[in-house]
Amino acid sequence: MPLGRLFRRWAAGLALAAAAALPASAATLDTVKQRGSLVCGVSQGLAGFSDRSGGAWTGFDVDFCKAVAAAVLGDPAKVTYVPLSATERFEALAAGRIDLLSRNSTWTLEREAGLKLLFAGITFHDGQGFMVLRRPAVVSALELDGVPVCVQEGTTSALNVADFFRANSMRLTLHTLPTSAEALAALEAGRCDVLTTDQSALFAERLKLSKPAEAVILPDVVSKEPLGPVVRADDVAWFNIVKWVAHGLVNAEELGISTATADEAMRSAKPNVRRFVGAEGDLGVKLGLDNAFAIRAVRAVGNYAEIYERNVGAGSLLAIPRGMNQLWSMGGILYAPPLR
């Protein structure tokens, strides 16, 4: 056999072997379009984030599902919500039962590298805190030595609380419960006097108590809890779509593009705004979408500030100060790469 033909056969075989070794693309975008709806994993009920107490799903994480559906399908209503517990959320995503996980989940190395998942950015900067009941004299987490603490299993909170008590040479009496509802019920029933989880969740859980005013959220923050949407690691194209929808909501706030100014933005001569609304740049096409994907998301749910204030901010029942979740230009750490 001529040497050239032998080399070509060898190269072709090598290419096939390399392709076989790579994980197959999940082609999630095609699946979502063919189905005509986005399957989005959310919590089993957390006020301000993903809650169905009023009949329809509402909340910060729910609005992100709607934003992705608007960007991809043109309709924020085309979402099927799947409530998931902390222990089952990542398995449901890995198994393909949901297209996207938007469920107050902390970004960690173990979850990305160990579970073969990808976090598409940070949509809420949080930290773990403590809510105290029946102990009015306690004003600091350093006073919780030996006090019974409740936590939900399958969360970073269970690991963080153990680290905090050990680092401060404190005795930990821990009660681990399967769900957040059971952890809160145990607190109210007196099995523990402290509930620990993300501070944002503590604001939500306090509203469920029979006497919310008697519960105090301590000022201590003992961890970093960067929360954000999660996708499978086998589909980078879908990862990029979800990531840039998230970035788009933040950029919209920076650019002053909101539900109230969307029509005005369409007529803008500013280069950054024109790229955002799809008037130039073909940015959406590069993602496999049309160029109006970002402005559609904003028309559906608003920019980041609108989503925050409506669900968890000063105008909501939770009234959580924006703090770190303020724009970088306004004293916070919220920062998104530019759409260009």
Q: What is the dihedral of CA 121, 123, 125, 129, to 10 degrees?
A: -110
Which whole number is the average pLDDT over 319-340?
96
Question: In angstroms, what is the C-alpha Rg of the chain?
Answer: 23
Check residue 277 and give its pLDDT. 98
pLDDT at 10: 41
Say which range, 15-29, 127-141, 297-311, has the weakest mean pLDDT.
15-29
* Token digits of residue 241: 């779509």
Name the pairing type of β-strands 216-217 and 128-132: antiparallel
Q: Mean pLDDT score of the chain, rounded to an integer?
A: 92
Per-residue pLDDT, 226: 97
pLDDT band of 1, cuts 50, 70, 90: very low
Q: Which pLDDT value is given to residue 270?
A: 98
Which amino acid is residue 307, in one-letter code? I
pLDDT at 22 over 70: no
Residue 243 has pLDDT above 70, yes or no: yes
pTM of the model: 0.88
pLDDT tens for 84-103 read 999 999 999 999 999 999 99
Look at residue 318 in the predicted model and tell me its pLDDT.
94
**Could you give the percent of the chain with pLDDT greater than 90?**
91
The pLDDT confidence band at residue 54, using thresholds 50, 70 and 90, is confident
CA angle 16, 21, 34 (to 5 degrees): 90
Superfamily of chain region 28-123+228-330? Periplasmic binding protein-like II (3.40.190.10)
What are the pLDDT digits (tens) for 183-222?
999 999 999 999 999 999 999 999 999 999 999 999 999 9
Please report the DSSP string for 240-301 in residue order.
HHHHHHHHHHHHHHHHT--TTTHHHHHT---HHHHHHHTSSS-HHHHHTS-TTHHHHHHHHH
pLDDT at residue 7 tops 80? no
Phi-psi region of 140 (alpha: psi -120 to 50; beta: other; left: phi over 0): beta
The Cα 193–Cα 244 span in angstroms is: 42
Domain ranges, ordered by start, for the chain: 28-123+228-330, 126-224
Structural domain 126-224, CATH architecture: 3-Layer(aba) Sandwich (3.40)
Q: Which residues of 200-229 are buried (b: 16+ CB within 10 A; e: fewer)?
A: bbbbbbbebbeeeeebeebebbbbebbbbb
Residue 38: partners with Cβ closer than 8 Å, 6 or more residues away: 32, 65, 68, 69, 72, 73, 78, 79, 80, 99, 100
pLDDT digits 0-9 by tens, 252-307: 999 999 999 999 999 999 999 999 999 999 999 999 999 999 999 999 999 999 99
Note the pLDDT tens digit of each residue in 144-173: 999 999 999 999 999 999 999 999 999 999
Confidence of residue 17 (pLDDT cuts 50, 70, 90): very low
pLDDT band for position 76 (cuts 50, 70, 90): very high
**Cα–Cα distance, 165 to 157 (Å, whole number):** 12
The confidence score (pLDDT) of residue 14 equals 36
**Predicted confidence (pLDDT) at residue 3 exceeds the cutoff of 80:** no
Q: What does the pLDDT read at residue 265?
A: 98
Is the pLDDT at 15 greater than 90? The verdict is no
Assess whether pLDDT exceeds 50 at residue 175: yes
